[in-house]
């Protein structure tokens, strides 16, 4: 049996995001949140370990009231207990890892699982910093995970070569999308999620961000907006254009 902590992130639904034509900045007002894709892979892998070997999965995320929907989704996927850390609004890997380490150090764990990086900032820095603060090894970019008693073994893909790496527990493991296909929870699990324990806790440390966002603008895209009324002629013109670009 293994005690597993899975850290996941909720992000603004970038698929629904629009850009202000005047300022070129993203319009985030009233934009819904959703579970980040690699976070779903991390949750799925944690649940699969529990199903195969037994144990308990604790999910941790940041946020306020909007985070409860994402946490309920994680609970429906198979997480046993949820912890939402309220009051942290930074996007700074050093501070994020500090807050997570403070909380996780109070829990009993054998394995910590996270996504390799988040879809919004995609720095990939938090897992390594978190492992360092907890003083545990890290196995990154896993596309396959195996457990043998007190040892975790992962396979990671580097271009055309697969590497197999292992470490003693406790260990932090980051996962890639190739590691699994997150399952849609059945109705019975969705209904049961509301009865699982979910705690909203205030952040326990005082932090001061050293980062200041000066601007956040979308790259300018100039489109020629060429319309072809004749399909055959249009295909021919596009083909000529692509060939000229290759040259």
Domains of the chain: 2-209 (3.40.50.620)
| pLDDT of 48 above 70 | yes
Strand, helix or coil for residue 192:
helix
Is residue 247's pLDDT more than 60?
no
Residue 231 has pLDDT above 90, yes or no: no
pLDDT band at 55 (very low <50, low <70, confident <90, very high): very high
Hey, what are 197's tokens?
């324990």
Range in 27-41, 72-86, 204-218 the model is least confident about:
204-218
Question: Given pLDDT bands bounded at 50, 70 and 90, which one contains residue 195?
Answer: very high
pTM to 2 decimal places: 0.82
Mean pLDDT (the chain) is: 86
Q: What is the pLDDT of residue 11?
A: 78
**Among 9, 8, 134, 5, residue whose Cα is nearest residue 81:** 5
Provide long-range contacts, Cβ within 8 A and 24+ apart, for 125-130.
125/93, 125/94, 125/97, 126/7, 126/93, 126/96, 126/97, 126/100, 127/172, 127/174, 129/93, 129/94, 129/96, 129/97, 130/7, 130/97, 130/100, 130/101, 130/104, 130/172
């Amino acid at each position: 049996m293994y005690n597993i902590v899975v850290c996941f992130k909720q992000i603004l639904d970038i698929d629904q995001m629009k850009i202000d034509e005047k300022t070129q900045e993203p319009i985030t007002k009233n934009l819904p949140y959703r579970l980040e894709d690699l976070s779903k892979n991390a949750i799925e892998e944690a649940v699969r370990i529990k199903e195969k070997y037994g144990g308990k999965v604790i999910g941790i995320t940041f946020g306020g009231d909007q985070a409860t929907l994402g946490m309920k989704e994680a609970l429906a996927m198979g997480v046993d207990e949820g912890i939402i850390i309220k009051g942290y609004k930074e996007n700074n890997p050093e501070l994020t890892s500090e807050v997570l380490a403070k909380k996780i150090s109070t829990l009993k764990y054998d394995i910590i699982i996270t996504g390799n990086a988040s879809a919004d900032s995609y720095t990939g820095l938090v897992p390594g910093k978190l492992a360092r603060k907890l003083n545990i090894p890290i196995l990154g970019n896993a596309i396959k995970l195996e457990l043998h008693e007190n040892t975790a073994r992962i396979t990671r893909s580097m271009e055309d070569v697969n590497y197999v790496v292992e470490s003693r527990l406790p260990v932090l493991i980051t996962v890639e999308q190739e590691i699994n296909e997150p399952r849609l929870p059945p109705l019975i699990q969705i209904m049961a999620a509301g009865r699982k324990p979910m705690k909203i806790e205030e952040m326990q440390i005082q932090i001061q961000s050293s980062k200041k966002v000066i601007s956040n603008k979308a790259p300018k895209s100039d489109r020629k907006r060429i319309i072809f009324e004749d399909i055959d002629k249009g295909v021919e013109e596009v083909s000529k254009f692509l060939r000229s670009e290759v040259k």
